[in-house]
Amino acid sequence: MARPVREKAVRERFDIVVVGCGIAGLAAAAAGQQQGARVVVLERSTKAERGGNTRYTEAFLRMKSEHEVSDDFEAHFAANAGGHLDPVLVSEAVKPEAERPQILKALGFADPEVVTAFAAAAGPTLQWLKTFGIRFDFLPTPFLTTSTTRMAPRGGGLALVETLAGYLEAQRVPIRYETTARELLLRPDGGVVGILAAGPGNRPIAFEGKAVVLASGGYEGNPEMQAQYIGPRALWLRPVARGGYYNRGEGIRMALAIGAAPCGDYASYHAEPIDPRSGMAEPANFVFPYGILVNKEGRRFVNEAAGTVDATYEWVTRQIFQQTDGIAYSIFDARLADVPNLRLGLRTDQPPLEAPTIAALAAKLALPAEALEQTVRAYNAACAPGTFQPLVADGLATRGLEPPKSNWARPLEQPPFQAYPIISSNVLTFGGLKVNPNAQVLNTAGDPIPGLYAAGEVVGLYYRTYAGSTSVLKGAVFGRLSGLHAGQGFRKKPAARKQPAPRSKPSSRARR
């Protein structure tokens, strides 16, 4: 069915065709252009909304300096490399690539060689981004209690998008907006030589090139793929920010269709707790550990405060997702105001629902009043004396309560009582493609597919629990690596001139 469309398509020739205009695609395009390659960027959104999720994020990076990743970086990926992996196969992952068994090369797990390359390239990538005028610093995070180190670019993800896109525009690298990649173009020997895309008005365009970089994000904006991989409960998910609706998984699908190896947990995603009443990007609630969480039945169902919020919020949010209609309610009393810098962790633009009694609050939430009152009584009775310390894991725990609450357990007894609804947002999906340290996409035999690269969330690397504050970094690193490798052999161009970062603030704080 596609052959007549191919034959009628307008043909344009470049050296590198990049799919996606977030940090991954922009980094790939800039790196390739600096190698002397003729590059084109395909972006399905309008110019005003270019950048995908990157545009809406504060872009925190799991770094301890501009040169080094956090101390727990590789350990986190190692602890979440897959499910119950075959120990014999995993032990062979330390061998040089040429000595690895064929079955291991395409195995779906977080390859330590790729993770090591990721960590090693992070510092140089930040130094490279600085040549464009981007600046990094230790900026305030939304996590009032933390377990690792984070940096961020000044101006957030918006600065990354507008600075790099501005550089490409200055270098006359075309960015084709409202243009969606549909299919990979192949040589008879299986090498990738371009993209068949749909331009404005569904006009077919064949972008031919020596290499293609897939940097088009995951599938959090595609309900069909979410239902296929995550399951029917995906009905209760929504992207964390407007940019996520543009991520519909075509890049992943078209690569799988030509034999690319899958990698990453297709049935999972990065979960973040948001207020469903809000239409802003990432209306997050990271202060729920200071109260209790109840479901639509008025019952507690999770340890709200097992540790620092940055290390536990995703696990808690997954439990919220499993409740009736995928929703829960964070309940507080008037002493929530005791928490310093509360608004850093409470990003919703909607006010709390307030009431003078628990029964009245239940009525406002349409929860069974008797059940909620019983839940609060049992929780209050289990709270032990101690000193409340909101900015550290204080060990102020409940006694004899199931599920327990391990920190910040104070009775809810001072009116007015207040509540915020919480659902799980889908920040990014985990399923993607297997790549090597050069960001080349591997086939199901573990061999690179000639001419095909992946970057950002198209690269499958996450399993079980998201490695916080690594997604933007992953996009920048593998974008740059793909552009450098795909651009080999062209006449290298001078380094970027410094560009001033935009003064406007990011409209949200989506991806961490």
Helical packing angle, 471-486 and 156-170, nearest 10°: 20
Summarised one tens digit per residue, pLDDT across range 326-373 is 999 999 999 999 999 999 999 999 999 999 999 999 999 999 999 999
Residue 173: pLDDT band (50, 70, 90) is very high
pLDDT in tens, 254-285: 999 999 999 999 999 999 999 999 999 999 99
Q: Which of 216, 210, 222 is nearest to 181 (CA)?
A: 216
pLDDT at 510: 47
Domain boundary assignment for the chain: 12-268+430-486, 271-425
Binning pLDDT at 50, 70 and 90, where does residue 91 land?
A: confident
Backbone torsions φ then ψ of 273, nearest 5 degrees = -80, 125
pLDDT band at 103 (very low <50, low <70, confident <90, very high): confident
Q: Name residues whose C-beta falls within 8 Å of residue 259's C-beta, 6 or more positions apart in sequence.
A: 190, 443, 444, 449
- Residue 156 scores a pLDDT above 90: yes
Q: What is the pTM of this model?
A: 0.94
Peptide bond into 403 cis (omega under 30): yes
Q: What is the pLDDT of residues 441-488, one digit of tens each?
A: 999 999 999 999 999 999 999 999 999 999 999 999 999 999 999 999
CATH homologous superfamily, domain 12-268+430-486: FAD/NAD(P)-binding domain (3.50.50.60)
Enter the DSSP assignment of 56: G
pLDDT of residue 502: 54
Q: Residue 189 CA to chain centroid, in angstroms?
A: 35
Q: What is the pLDDT of residue 508?
A: 45
- Distance from C-alpha of 467 to C-alpha of 464, rounded to nearest angstrom: 10
12-268+430-486 against 271-425: fold identical: no
pLDDT at 388 over 90: yes
Query: Helices 23-34 & 112-130, crossing angle to 10 degrees?
Result: 70
Q: What is the mean pLDDT of the chain?
A: 94
Structure confidence at residue 494 (pLDDT): 73
Q: CATH number of the domain at 271-425, out of 3.90.1150.10, 3.40.50.1820, 3.50.30.50, 3.90.700.10? A: 3.90.700.10
